[in-house]
Amino acid sequence: MQFFSGFSLQNESYLFDEYLNRSEYSVVGFSYGAIKAFNYAKEQLESGKRIDTLQLISPAFFQRHAVKFKKLQLLAYTKNELTYMNQFMNSCFDPYEKKIVEHKKTTKEELAELLNYEWNLQELQELVDKGIKLEVYLGEKDKIIDVAGAKEFFLQVATVTYIKEANHFLQIN
């Protein structure tokens, strides 16, 4: 399994153990890492490599958010990165207890990429048409992404597991 971490995170895959397909032909991405996982899966297929499953956990989905929202996020990050990241992490775990996760240095460019990323339905469908099983996992109480928009969008091409009461990290309690 190839796992891609969320924005500012590393080694958080343990949080999703109950959902992960650990086959050597699986690609998994959490939040911002879902974008990276999708692009990696496309590259692997183009180079003739085998991918059976693409799992997108709480994929970064902001394409229905206003430009103003995205600019305010970037401005807040630029103004005080530490405060922004603390609030961001609290929102990821809300409404449940915050767990310890490993962090890595982030950049404004990475935040801009995840906020402005536009999922392409045709490209997702092409992966499905090539035999890749596309699975998406969403938490009902996720305060980070546009859950309703993601659910509506990904249901067109994927199996969507919608977890009631779950947050961004798919925690339930």
The reply to whether 22 falls in a domain is: yes
The reply to whether 170 falls in a domain is: no
Average pLDDT value for residue range 50-61: 98
With beta carbons less than 8 A apart as the criterion, state whether 58 and 145 touch.
yes
Q: Is the pLDDT of residue 24 over 90?
A: yes
pLDDT tens-digit profile of 144-157?
999 999 999 999 99
With beta carbons less than 8 A apart as the criterion, state whether 8 and 106 touch.
yes
Provide the CATH number for the domain around residue 114: 3.40.50.1820
* Count of the separate structural domains present in the chain: 1
User: What integer pLDDT is reported at residue 103 of this predicted model?
Assistant: 93
CA-angle at 62, arms to 171 and 120, nearest 5° = 110
The reply to whether 169 falls in a domain is: no
Beta-bridge partner residues of 26: 53
Average pLDDT, the chain: 96
pLDDT tens-digit profile of 37-48?
999 999 999 999
The reply to whether 172 falls in a domain is: no
The reply to whether 40 falls in a domain is: yes
Residue at 160: amino acid letter:
V
The reply to whether 135 falls in a domain is: yes
- Domain span at residue 8 reads 2-163
Beta-bridge partner residues of 161: 137
The reply to whether 173 falls in a domain is: no
pLDDT tens-digit profile of 71-95?
999 999 999 999 999 999 999 999 9
The reply to whether 141 falls in a domain is: yes
Structure tokens at 127: 């992966």
Total-model pTM: 0.96
Give the sign of the dihedral formed by CA 125, CA 169, CA 106, CA 21: negative
